[in-house]
Amino acid sequence: MSSPNRLLARRAGIDTYQQAVVYMRSDCAVCRAEGFQSQAQVEVIAKGRHLFAILHQVNSDWLRGDEIALSEAAWALMGAAEGEELVVRHPPILDSLAHLRSKVHGGRLDYAALRALMEDVSRGRLPDIHLASFVTVCAGRGLDLDETVALTRAMVDVGERIDWGVSPVMDKHCIGGLPGNRTTLLVVPIIAACGLVMPKTSSRAITSAAGTADVMETLAPVDLDLPAMRRVVEREGGCIACGNAMRISPADDMLIRVERPLGIDSEGLMVASILSKKAAMGSQRVLIDIPVGPLAKVRSDAAAGQLSHSLVSVGAALGLQVQAVFTDGSQPVGRGVGPALEAMDVMAVLERAADAPADLRERALLLAGLLLELAGKAAPGTGNALARAVLDDGRALARFIAICEAQGGLRVPPKAAHTHCVTAPAAGAVAGIDTRLVARMAKLAGAPRDPAAGASMHVRVQDRVARGQPLFTLHAGSLGELQYALSFVRSQLPVVRIGAVS
């Protein structure tokens, strides 16, 4: 070895999600020379490429003393080759940590401070413990409107920003937390068929049974890079792609990674997350769907009103025209919960099937109609009728198929190998459906890891049911997963609550 701080790259094959982790023997020359300890942050360098990673020390012969093993996330970020020589050293001291400490002690952060923080966040320079402290203090002490605007602007400025060269560029977002609410796959083709531009990027599921990108992926490829996405949008007027493949508000991606395990979803960070992505994507007019319900993310009209005010105000400060709409968040939307099952619902609506879920259809028409009015394509109060005509005459289906073909080809969603129907234990009326339990049982059945897995709902709130009538069906790829989900269902309060007929 030419220097004591050089080690040979090795792929560990260990999934650490999005966190970059490296593994070194505790008795290797670098650890001894640099005084590294487990959980220390280190900087790894090779041919001008820099990676900041957390060190885990190894006391085992699976790793040689002249090797450094990289987790899957670190390997992808570093772009290393097996046996490549890597320099390992202490990372530079970050000035931005002083701003974080200021916020912890009650200070307010201006744009310059937040820009410095987001720059380091986006480049992976801050360990998760510091990211977690930032998320926590923003939730605990909160962000005022000026700080939220500054944070949103900083998150945009440290990533790529797209200019589509046309106006208006339309977009929508749902706050989330509602199983089956897959309106994006219906709204985008309706809007694009009306001659408008709607480049939609969506996320994969993190804690839910399906994300929009997971559902779309059962119908067409979604991992488009920026040039590919631009080609699709220029050709068809819209796309439904996974935003993870592009450097769009990268600081937001890093913050989300630590927000989810903490279970923290504060208003200021939520607003900055949503609008930074929209601004970076070049969107100009944005509709925000806020489901309101007892188990939804937003549980009251008052909370929805406050969130709406923040979204509109911050959007205006960034030059975005934002409109919010409150929708029913009391029960799942459509029938399917899980990527393929939700995709089947979407296709049933697009194909105008007789048994297509009416609630999904009407919710999508509501949102598409408001977007058409926001774009000036329809007069106030007439957007829903235009959206309905585009869906009913087949233009939306034709445009959706064209978008799928442009993204790499239309696919047929898979079906699960095993199913089990859960029936009503007694006659009565459906008094409530626990949306959180619905999502949980679908995940235990294998969704979204197995795209065919999940649950399909057969009833809605206020439906009358007879004893033995199907309530929902579980779908799984193996009998073991099916039994696991069923055991969960049987151990909980009823997923579907049956009450007396009034």
Catalytically active residues, by annotation: 265
How many whole angstroms separate alpha carbon 426 and alpha carbon 447? 29
- Measured over the CA atoms of residue 478, residue 484, residue 490 and residue 492, the dihedral's sign is negative
* DSSP per residue, 92-147: PPPTHHHHHHHHHTT----HHHHHHHHHHHHTT-S-HHHHHHHHHHHHHT---HHH
Strands 496-499 and 428-433: antiparallel
Q: What's the helix, strand, coil split of the chain in %, to 5?
A: 40, 20, 40
Q: What is the dihedral of CA 233, 236, 242, 245, to 10 degrees?
A: -40
Provide the edge-to-edge strand list for the sheet that holds 464-465: 464-465, 428-433, 496-499
CA nearest to 70, candidates 127, 1, 4, 13: 13
Rounded to whole angstroms, the Cα distance separating 261 from 446 reads 20
- Measure CA 438 to chain center: 19
Give the residue among 360, 341, 401, 339 at the shortest CA–CA distance from 204: 339
Strands 21-25 and 49-58 come out as parallel
Is the bond into 294 cis (omega within 30 degrees of 0)?
A: no
Strand partners, 174: 289
Distance CA 435, CA 296 (A): 8
How many CB atoms neighbour CB 4 within 10 A? 13
Strands (DSSP E) found in 263-320? 285-292
Omega before 413 within 30 of 0, i.e. cis: no
| Three-state secondary-structure class, residue 488 | helix
